[in-house]
Amino acid sequence: MVKIYTVISCSSCKKAKQWMELHHLEYEEVNLLTDNISRADYLQILSLTDNGTEEIISTRSRAYHRLQLDFEQLSLNELVEIFEKNRTLLRRPLILDNRRLQVGYNEDDIRKFLPREIRQVELTVATDKIKENLDEHLSKVD
């Protein structure tokens, strides 16, 4: 199942949830500020990053500027402890399942959470529309 880590006032979080609902995908919403987030949850997020902390830490957050840490030099335990005490450090939304992580909302990237068969159907429909438009355009040119 897809998990979406959000905060109430985040417009990108709202867009991600609306997109999931529009595509009839089940998801679990976790409020970064109020819900219980386990150590295992933080470790899962970290395990799915491509670039370590760089992609999941909000460098514009007050917590980031207040802490003034070199996050790349911290141990995993230290990092998790800092996240537990400073949840606003995390960018949002964080969207993940067991294999993938998306940071922020991007309509093209979020499609990776669609089941493969749905992605294939949508690709076929889009390809057919392009062919129709091209045929229509070419018939007007002739």
DSSP 75-127: -HHHHHHHHHH-GGGB-S-EEE-SS-EEES--TTGGGGGS-HHHHHHHHHHHH
Measured CA to CA, the distance from residue 32 to residue 82 in angstroms comes to 14
Q: For the packed helices 76-85 and 39-47, what is the interaxial angle rounded to 10 degrees? A: 120
Catalytic annotation present for 13? no
Structure tokens at 6: 């959000």
Of the listed 2, 4, 10, 57, which one is catalytic? 10
Q: Which residues are catalytic?
A: 10
